[in-house]
Each structure stands twice: as structure tokens, then as C-alpha cells.
Structure 1
Amino acid sequence: MPTRILPAGADPDAVRSLTTLLSQLPDAEPVPPVTDSTRLIDTLARLAAESVDELPEVVVVHERIGPVPALELIREIALRFPAVGVILVTTDAGPALFAAAMDAGARGLVGLPLAYEDLAHRVQAVAQWSSGVRRHLGHGGADVLSGPGGTVITVSGAKGGTGATTAALQLALAAQASGRATVLADLDLQTGDVASFLDIQFRRSVADLAAIADISPRVLADAVYRHDTGLALLLAPGEGERGEEVTDRAVRQIIHALRARYEVVVLDCGAQLTGATAAAVEGADTALLVTTPDVVSVRAAKRTVRMWDRLQIRKAEETTVVVNRYTRVTEIQPALIQRITGTALARTTVPAAFKELQGVVDAGRVHELDARSTVRQALWALAGELGLAKAADGPAHRGGRQRGGDRGAVGFRRRKE
């Protein structure tokens, strides 16, 4: 049976040369190459969803791949797709990099410039290893390939004050209450309010993980605050200027570590776009954008969606808008917001009921929001809609076309954007 080999690299000339050489190997079947880490992971995830047997036996990663660095990418592949053997192609074939690649989960390393014999020998050895793993996994392999690796949800605000932190906190609490190991990370690095909403004092923050190249479970546990509810918290730094220490690369490493440890990872990204929040939104399984049904917020949501698309962070159709402070009589209804932004739309809307929140927010006890609260019921229903938790008891607030919706569209258009 031919060995399927997936080349991956950002340099077109290097990938073309690699593919040409791979096609000369006996019983080799190179598949179309991918040009970045995101496409590689997406391709493997799609194939794994069909069957273990659909996955390539060998993935050859060129050192100049991005945006995720090669070793981080190899570590993620090894964790999420253990039946795939990874070979790193690099100009530095020294013992230090060899050890680092093996620690990350690579099955081999081939130096540049490529030599036919070296590549053939390594591909054959890795293909045999991959076949043995698949025989061992048998028909239960599909379940193994899905983990470890939790679900990552980002919650961003169209602008400040739309309720993104409240939404992120209640989604995380709902997931935790359903028995799923859950962490809430505050990536609103200068102005994060998660600690204030829960009135907690803390020593460690996400900034303490920023300079650590390999985040071990012990290091991660030391940085995480364990709340009385059982919810794990990775908090924004108390000194806002330390937020600059958290780069996009650091965030990718942190999310990777959180995904490996928790079933549900909720990231509060605030309303400001930084390198850190861009990396989080780009790599999330689900990206939520919270807006309120008013002209200023909806315009801000549209700007945010367009900016994410221009910067190739996330396409509009891959973003889900959540409408907060919704009433049936508001002029701008959810269906209109969806048409304006071009995004997906959460079926569940969150009602305008700030009086329910005011007491617990002022006391720093948002986790004690009454179960009868319509806001909590809606956000826990949203958690159920997203697959994070069982749907909450009580009425779910559904957005949809209301009478007067056309008038709302006309009214919005009259306010020139």
C-alpha cells in the first residue's frame, strides 16, 4: 500500500523541491502540500473526522513554516493526531535541535540540502511506525485522535461595555457546572476585569507564562488560580503594562498548554485587537463577538469583522455574533445585525436585564448570579447551544425577525455608516 506523505512549508520553492523528491521514493504517494500551520492542522482534523485511515502516514514539516513555529506545530500534531509520524526538515541537524524535535514528538529529522537516501530511509522508518500505531489503535483510533485537546472559545466585545466578560464568565461557569474541566483565561491584558468580577486576590498571571518556552503541567498549575466553584482562572496581570510581555507567540504556547489540560478553554479577549488576541481568535474553535443592538455597537461589530478579515485573522462567516441586552421592541433586531456583519448568529440572545446583574457585579460575586436570572439562563442556554454544557433549564431567548424589522433596517441605513 502506498505511503501517503503530506509536505508542509511556507517557502514555495522549498516545498516544490521537497514534493519532487518525495514523489521519487518507492511506494510513496505525496498529497498536495499545505503552506501554513493553520491549514495543516485543519486538513488533519478534517481527515481525522472521517477516519484514522484517511490520515497521511507521514507529515514532512519544513522549518520555515508559520505562523506557529515548527516545533510548536509538531507538538500539537503529536498530541492531537498520534497516528501521524512527523519529520522535520531543517538546515540545523545538530544534536540540540534533534533533541528538541524528539521532545516535541517528531519521529525524525532530515537535514538540508536534502539527500535522497536520507529522506527515503527516514520516510520508510516513520511510515512503518505509523502503520504499527494504527494497528494498535484499531477501530477505536478515531476517539484517540480527538484528544487530548480541549475546545477553545474566544469571547470578544464589539466595543467596550458590551458584556463580553460577563458572557465569558457565565459560559465558563456553565461548562464547569456540567462536569467538564474548564479554564477561563483573561486576555484583556491591560483592562481585564475577571478578577474584579470575582473579587479575588492573586499573585500569578498570564504574564508569568509569557517567557516560558515549554510550559509544563506543573508550571501551568502554578500560574492558574483555582476558584471556589472549581473553575480554573488564568488572570490578566495586575499591572497593565505587563500585558506587553504577552506576545502572539506566547499566547499560542499558552493556549496549546491549556488545550492539553482542560476540556473547555474560554478566552476573554476584550474589545482591543492586539497580537495576543489576534492569535487567540485565529486559533479558536469558535470565536464569539458580543454586541448590543444599537447603532454604535453594530457599527463597531462590522468594523471588527472587516478588520479580522483584512488581517486574515478570521473570516466573517467563521465568527458568531451574540446579541446582548436584547429586547423585542428594539429597532435593530438580530437578523438585521447578521445581515450587516455577514457573520453567523447565535440563536440565543441575552436579554436587557442589568438590574439582575448590578448587585453581584458590585459585590464581585458574579458567580452567585441567581439561577432564576434571565441573563444567566440565556448565557447558560448559549453554552448548551455551543456544546460547552447541557442546555440550561428555563426559557431560552431566541432572536429572529420581529414586526418592524424592516423599519429597523431602513432606520439603520438612514444613519450613514
Structure 2
Amino acid sequence: MTTRILPAVGDADAVRSITTLLGQLPDVEPLAPVVDSTQLVDTLARLAAESVGELPEVVVVHERIGPVPALELIREVSVRFPAVGVILVTADAGPGLFSAAMDSGARGLVALPLSYDELASRVQAVAQWSAGVRRHLGHGGDVFTGAGGTVVTVSGAKGGVGATVTAVQLALAAQASGHSTALVDLDLQTGDIASYLDVQFRRSVVDLATITDITPRVLADAVFQHDTGVSLLLAPAEGERGEEVTDRAARHLVTALRSRYEVVVIDCGAQLGGAGATAVEMADRALLVTTPDVVAVRGAKRVVRMWDRLQIRKAEETTVVVNRHTRGTEIQPPLVQKITGTGIAATAIPAAYKELQAAVDAGRLHELDHKGTVKQALWALAGELGLVRAPEGHRAGGRLRGDRAPGGFRRRREGGG
């Protein structure tokens, strides 16, 4: 059987040496090399969309691949494409890196300078492992190989601007449209999506904080399946436990969710922590909810500047949603866009709290009146974001300013971490 190998190497000299040596291996078909992490994930996603059988058996990742660090890239590939075996090529073949590479999901490590015998032995072992996984998949194994879903984060310019209501309704709209949808509460200290949806469930996002290999089955044990069909991953009942969800844990979590659901909506609240910052950085679309008043808009401006300073997200990659909008208010969406320097959602959410009050007080936000202006606006926003399946030719508004194509890595700015 021929083993297909996809090299992921950013250095031109290393590309030549690796591809030359791979070409000498017996029963091996080297594929055209990819030069960075974005191209690797996009290539694998395109092949996986056709079938598992189209994926290469082996991916060889050079230690100097970028912009995403090699170990993070390996973890992403191993979670999203578990039928692919990854080999790390590195000058540091010590036990520390070997252990870290295995923890990230690599199936082997080969030291530089490359040795024909070592590379051949490792490729053969990983190819056999990959073939075994594919046989398992052929018998209905619980492994997901999708190209990756769309991740949307919803943050508040300050507390009380309506970020949670927005996140809940976006998730409900996506699920009602036929997308498999997860709603995640990363407002770790004060988040209360459970109360909005009348849910009592002991498991929370904290239960996944120390798990580095979040398999579909592990994830399924931690989520609550709501009556609407939305999968809920809740904030901890004890707010102090939110500190257990580190930025590293959040990265593993978002990666696992993206690989399992078509749409992932994350409520990040109004307080920036490491987990929320990671989610915003990884998101395909980052929404910032504000109300049309001076205090909230100033808060939105501060958040946007902070995200930029911390290299979490650029202003032009952020979309502001104006909530509780009225025609008579002095601050209108174009002014908010000018002040914040962000994109602005074409759909503004009207000020009609009386429509929400009964549902919020009863914890039945999923039972909002379909004819209400607030629900109609929020579901229109979901359509604008591409989270619902609109009739052909009727997609609202196209792509927003600041949108990124779903399922890929964003290139970090020069000098970024």
C-alpha cells in the first residue's frame, strides 16, 4: 500500500532536504509541501470534506513551521483529523520535547539532521497506525473528521448590555436552521446561561480544564443537551473555580468544539480573562455588544483598544452589535463604528425589554415570541453572520467587515506571540 505524506515545512532549504529524502522511501507518495499552518489546516479540511480516505496517512511537521507554533499545530491536526498521523521533525530530540510532542498528539519524532533509516522506520510505524484508525472509522467509530465549524464569540462592552441574550438567541437560530450548535458560557465568574434556559446541570467547562485530549465522547459527557437541540457547556456554579480554565485549556476546548459542531457560540462576558481572550483570538467572528449610550460606547472603545494592545484581535476584525437601539437616540450605529474603528453589524437590536422580561424572569429565553421585534432582529443578525441556512440568493448582508473565513488559522501580526 502506498503511504501519502504531506510535508509542512516553512523553510525553503528544509523543504528540499525533507522532500528529497521522502521521495527515496519505498511505497511513499510525497504530496506537494505546504509552507505554513494555515495552508496545512486548509488543505486537510478540503480533503476531509471529500472523505477520510482522501486524507494523507502521514503529515510531517517541521519545528519552524508558522505562524502557529508546531506543538499547537500538531494538537489542532490531531483533534480535527484523527485519522492522520503526525511526525515532528526537530533539532531537539530530548525527552522533554518528546513528551510534549506526544501530549500534543504526535505519533512520532524524528531528529535533525534527518537519517534515512530513522525517517523510514517512523513513517512506516505511523502509516500502520493511521491504517488501523481508518479501519476503525469504517466500522462506525466515534471519531469526527469534519472540516471544522464556525466559532463566534460574544463579548459585552460592559456588564448588562445584553451579550448573553445575544449569544443565546444566535445559538438558537443556528440550531433551528439545522446546524449542530454548541453554546458555551465562558463568563466564568458570573455567567448564568443555565438560568436563562432553565437548566440544572452539575457538569461545567471546568470539568474539561485539565483534559488535554478532549475526545468527542469526553466532550459529550460534559455538555447538556437542551430541549431545543443546542448543546450547552456551562460556567461553573462556583465562580472561583473559573480560574481553573486557563488560556491553554480554553485553546484545547475551542479546538475540540470546532471539530465537533458546525456552529459554536461562546459568551465571553464583559470581563477579560485568559480563557476569554483565547476564545476571542481563535474565533472566526468576534462580536462586541454595546448599547447606544456614552458609558457603554466608551467601554466598547476601551475593549477594542485593549484587544489590539494585547494582540488578541484587531479593531477591523471585530464587529460591534448595537443593542437597545432607538431611532431617537443621539448615538447611532455609524457613530459607534467611527468611535470604535470596528466593523458594525447592519442589524441593530431594538429597545423592547418588555418583550424579554417575562421570558428572562421565567428562565425561558428559548420561548421568546417569534413575532417579537427583539427575537426577529437577533435571528436576522444570525442570518447576517451566516449562522443560518438562508434560501439561495437571500443571504442577508453578505460577510461583515472583520469576518474571517471559518475553520482556519488567523495569521498573527508581525511580532505577535
Give your verdict on TM over 0.5. Answer: yes
What SS does the aligned partner of 1:299 have? Answer: helix
Which residues in structure 2 correspond to 1:357-376 (within 5 Å)?
357-376=356-375
Cα distance in 2 between the residues matched to 1:33 and 1:64: 7
Cα distance in 2 between the residues matched to 1:240 and 1:99: 31
Contact 2:350 2:377 in 1 (8 A): yes
Which residues in structure 2 correspond to 1:221-232 (within 5 Å)?
221-232=220-231
CA drift of 1:104 comes to: 6.3
Per mean C-alpha deviation after superposition, the further-off stretch among 383-392 and 57-66 is 57-66
Q: Cα gap change, 1:320/1:117 in structure 2, threshold over 3 Å: closer, same or farther?
A: same
Please name the residue that 2:205 is paired with: 206
Contact 1:68 1:252 in 2 (8 A): no
Q: Cα gap change, 1:296/1:323 in structure 2, threshold over 3 Å: closer, same or farther?
A: same
How much identity, in percent, do the aligned residues show? 61
Cα distance in 1 between the residues matched to 2:321 and 2:76: 30
Cα distance in 2 between the residues matched to 1:319 and 1:182: 22
What SS does the aligned partner of 1:256 have? Answer: helix
Contact 1:385 1:391 in 2 (8 A): no
Please name the residue that 1:258 is paired with: 257
What SS does the aligned partner of 1:288 have? Answer: strand
Alignment counterpart, residue 8 of structure 2, candidates 6, 12, 24:
6
Q: Cα gap change, 1:353/1:68 in structure 2, threshold over 3 Å: closer, same or farther?
A: farther
What SS does the aligned partner of 1:154 have? Answer: strand
Cα distance in 2 between the residues matched to 1:316 and 1:181: 29
Residue by residue, what CA displacement relative to the aligned partner does 1:379-406 show, whole Å, maximum 9, x if unpaired? 11111111111459xxx999xxxxxxxx
Q: Which amino acid aligns with 2:146?
A: G
Residue by residue, what CA displacement relative to the aligned partner does 1:341-362 show, whole Å, maximum 9, x if unpaired? 2212211111111111111111
Superposed CA RMSD in Å reads 4.2
CA drift of 1:219 comes to: 2.2
Which residues in structure 2 correspond to 1:239-318 (within 5 Å)?
239-318=238-317
Q: Which runs of 5+ in 1 are unaligned?
A: 9-14, 35-39, 133-144, 399-417
Q: Which amino acid aligns with 1:87?
A: I
Please name the residue that 1:62 is paired with: 63
Per mean C-alpha deviation after superposition, the further-off stretch among 373-382 and 18-27 is 18-27
CA drift of 1:326 comes to: 1.1
Q: Cα gap change, 1:195/1:26 in structure 2, threshold over 3 Å: closer, same or farther?
A: closer
CA drift of 1:210 comes to: 0.5
Cα distance in 2 between the residues matched to 1:49 and 1:115: 29
Please name the residue that 2:214 is paired with: 215
CA drift of 1:23 comes to: 7.7
Cα distance in 1 between the residues matched to 2:295 and 2:386: 30
Which residues in structure 2 correspond to 1:16-415 (within 5 Å)?
18=14, 21-22=17-18, 25=21, 34=36, 40=37, 42-45=38-41, 59-62=60-63, 70=71, 72-78=72-78, 80=80, 86-90=86-90, 91-92=92-93, 97=98, 101=102, 106=106, 108-110=108-110, 112-117=111-116, 121=120, 147-390=146-389
Contact 2:288 2:318 in 1 (8 A): yes
CA drift of 1:285 comes to: 1.2
Contact 2:305 2:315 in 1 (8 A): yes
Cα distance in 1 between the residues matched to 2:127 and 2:200: 53
Q: Which amino acid aligns with 1:73?
A: L
Cα distance in 2 between the residues matched to 1:49 and 1:220: 21
Contact 1:59 1:86 in 2 (8 A): yes
Please name the residue that 2:401 is paired with: none
Alignment length (residue pairs): 370
More helix by share: 1
Cα distance in 1 between the residues matched to 2:69 and 2:233: 22
What SS does the aligned partner of 2:151 have? Answer: strand
Residue by residue, what CA displacement relative to the aligned partner does 1:139-158 show, whole Å, maximum 9, x if unpaired? xxxxxx99242211111111
CA drift of 1:65 comes to: 7.5
Q: Cα gap change, 1:87/1:231 in structure 2, threshold over 3 Å: closer, same or farther?
A: same
CA drift of 1:165 comes to: 0.2
Cα distance in 1 between the residues matched to 2:228 and 2:175: 8
Q: TM-score, normalised by structure 1?
A: 0.75
Residue by residue, what CA displacement relative to the aligned partner does 1:9-41 show, whole Å, maximum 9, x if unpaired? xxxxxx68856854875879997854xxxxx2x
Residue by residue, what CA displacement relative to the aligned partner does 1:58-85 show, whole Å, maximum 9, x if unpaired? 5524289886671x53242245568987
Q: Cα gap change, 1:30/1:114 in structure 2, threshold over 3 Å: closer, same or farther?
A: farther
Q: Which amino acid aligns with 2:9?
A: P
Please name the residue that 1:414 is paired with: none
Q: Which amino acid aligns with 2:61?
A: V
Contact 1:327 1:352 in 2 (8 A): yes
Cα distance in 1 between the residues matched to 2:276 and 2:69: 15
CA drift of 1:189 comes to: 0.2
Q: Cα gap change, 1:65/1:319 in structure 2, threshold over 3 Å: closer, same or farther?
A: same
Using CA pairs below 8 Å that are at least 6 residues apart, which structure has the higher relative contact order?
2
Contact 1:75 1:105 in 2 (8 A): yes
Q: TM-score, normalised by structure 2?
A: 0.75
Cα distance in 2 between the residues matched to 1:317 and 1:296: 22
Contact 1:158 1:289 in 2 (8 A): yes
Cα distance in 2 between the residues matched to 1:329 and 1:98: 61
Q: Cα gap change, 1:332/1:96 in structure 2, threshold over 3 Å: closer, same or farther?
A: closer
